[in-house]
Chains A and B, each alone.
Chain A
Amino acid sequence: MARKSERLMNLVICLLAATRYLTRDDIRRSVEGYAGLTDQAFERAFERDKEELRALGLPLEMGRADAWDGETDGYRIRRQDYELPPLDLTPAEATLVGLATRVWQGAALDSATGRAIAKLKAAGIPLAADRLVAVAPTLPTREPAFGPLWEAWLTRAPVRFSYHGKERVFEPWRLILRHGRWYAVGRDRTAGEVRLFKLSRIEDTPALVPGEPPFATVSAAELAGHVRRLDAPEPVAEALLAIKPDGAPALRRRGRRAEADTALDRLGDGYEVYSVPYARDDDLVAEAAAAGSDVLVLEPPGLRAAVIDRLRWVAAAAAPAGKGGLA
């Protein structure tokens, strides 16, 4: 191993120090580890070594070299492509980098982030021990589709997967994390339109489509518009609710105190009246029913009737012959 490591190191140093493209012959003469190999053995070793340097993420560049016998392929690594540019982090910024260490816990990106942090350390940036232990974020990536979608997004490669029983070819423009779930927005080539996919609903392992040029995305503003489709819909109406003082916090905090209605003097038990904006009838009915006697819908009457229907159904389910028994 040590001899192979030496040869690779010497190759890196030789290519980095080069001020022009080096031909294979230049490299064979210069790098000690290639001495004494037959032509065929050298070619094999050099091909493998090039692959290993690329796998290490080194920017190995090919170009035309001016050799003494004419033009031929040559190789070099440009320092400005190779080197981590100066980052000049303040001590406070360096401390925060340390916090990033554990964010991808257990996910595939854990090791990529770890390598990034090791490189910053290697650049001499003092990453202080995290004093801010009070904040410990982690990102969930339990969707099996996350890894392939991340790679497709990062490399702008179209990706193929099955969703709702249909095969799609998709360009992931942006990944979105909402409520602990990942989504991807982009062009669904199969449907010919911009779509939002929920990663947990992808039914197979997405595969990058090989041999495609990187796809183009749209402007940040247009992307933001697509991301907004995940936001809660805008309220369209207001309901008048009677809420017990500490009850139904979600409804109460969304609403504002309202004037007492004529029915109020018969409510008793310290109900307070709120006007609560809502977007969808079904959602308001579900929320009000879930709160039980903590919330009474006063208006509109249609919603009140829907809540009472639901409560009656649940009340009846406990009856011995009730339809909820499912014996």
Chain B
Amino acid sequence: MSPVPAKAAAAEQVGRLLLLIPYLQAHPGARLADVAREFGLPPDQVRRDLSVAFLCGLPGGLPGDLIDVDLDLVDDEGVIYLTNAAVLARPVTLTPDEAMGLIVALQAVREVAAGSLHPVIDSLLAKLAAVGPGALETPALSVAAGAPATRDRLLRAISQAERVELVYDGLARGKTSRPLVDPVRLFVADGVAYLSGWSVTRQGWRTYRLDRIADVRATGEVAAAHGPEPAHTWLDTLAQAPPVRLIVHPGAQWITEYYPVAGQVRLPNGDLDVTLPVADPAWLRWLLLRLGPGVAVVGAPAVTADAAHAAQAALAAYAYAGLE
């Protein structure tokens, strides 16, 4: 038996019936298995719901008042005909929560969709707004998703299996590179849109932030098949990266909100003792140079030395130019 209490189970069944009854009237002769799949329900659940619908109807309870379902046909052939339920021809209208959940989800789709899809999404959003909760200002979503033209070209390359050359402004190394990439998909994680693809240059799976792709160039080559993408994500990789401990002074503590932090402890003097996973030493060097006296590395002399070496090279360049 279901662990759901009978009371809640009855309300849930009514909720399902208020979906199934209009659906079945819009799709006469629908197959039980298809209906179950469409609503993500077990087929025997749909069958039980139908036997309840069969007993419901307008007051009076006479045969002409009741919803009509040919249950024999359902059992023998798996085909459903439900009639005499004109009063339940339409589903219940959307609640504010449902309408706004859908509208905001579609705004997120708009943020990463190809620019050519924007007119379709806008007209869809207008139609949903008409049935939604009215005069609310929908959330202002801003996904770092790069230029629409970049997305258009990447989506076209993906659908036509084209190899492309990216002009990529990598942050960790602070350099622009030009990898050859077989693009596979676009995705958004934590409000930032990425391209996932196979780097022909690096011979491995890579993710690229769309807002750092400065250009997508055609190569005229066909993308190769590289099997399935690895299941682990960049964030998983980061979680396994060796951590570095930093003492972060108050002026630099914004970093704990911008970068994934493995742990932080507030010290009595107002400093933060931060444990930061570091997947790329070049990124840590960049961060230490950026923050300067705002942080101190704890117990990793090689890390400190690496940043110092980069600082010395920069000072040498200033000195050479007579700019010191």
Contacts and interface: CB of A to CB of B under 8 A. Distances in A.
B217 to A, nearest CB: 16
B124 A290 contact: no
B208 interface: no
B307 to A, nearest CB: 5
B308 A181 contact: no
A89 B136 contact: no
A57 B57 CA distance: 20
Contacts of B18: 12, 56, 122
B51 to A, nearest CB: 8
B55 interface: yes
B317 to A, nearest CB: 4
Contacts of A123: 22, 26, 90-91
A236 interface: no
A321 interface: no
Interface string A285-327: 0110111111010100000100011111111111100111110
A52 B136 CA distance: 27
Nearest to A57: B95
A10 B57 contact: yes
Interface residues of A, number: 120
The secondary structure that dominates the A interface is helix
B191 A178 contact: yes
Contacts of A151: 97
A88 B126 CA distance: 12
A286 B289 CA distance: 8
Given A317-B304, A317-B307, A227 B10 contact: no
Interface stretch (A36-44, A107-115, A162-170, A203-211): A107-115
The secondary structure that dominates the B interface is helix
B186 A227 contact: no
Interface in B285-307: 285-293, 296-299, 301, 304-305, 307
Contact of B52 (A2, A293, A294): A2
Contacts of B285: 292
User: What is the size category of the interface that chain B forms with chain A?
Assistant: 35 or more
B136 A153 contact: yes
B266 interface: no
A294 B99 CA distance: 50
Interface stretch (B69-77, B141-149, B236-244): B141-149
A155 B88 CA distance: 28
Contacts of B29: none
Contact of B139 (A4, A176, A179): A176
Contact of A311 (B9, B304, B311): B311
Contacts of B301: 318, 325
Interface string A38-63: 00000000001000100111100000
Interface in A120-147: 121-124, 132-140
A130 to B, nearest CB: 10
6 contacts: A85-B93, A87-B131, A112-B100, A139-B108, A249-B170, A326-B298
Interface of A: 1-2, 4-6, 8-10, 12-14, 16-17, 30-32, 48, 52, 55-58, 79, 81-85, 87-90, 92-93, 96-97, 99-100, 103-104, 109, 112-113, 115-119, 121-124, 132-140, 151, 153-155, 173-181, 200, 217, 220, 223, 227, 242, 246-250, 252-253, 263, 266-269, 286-287, 289-294, 296, 298, 304, 308-319, 322-326
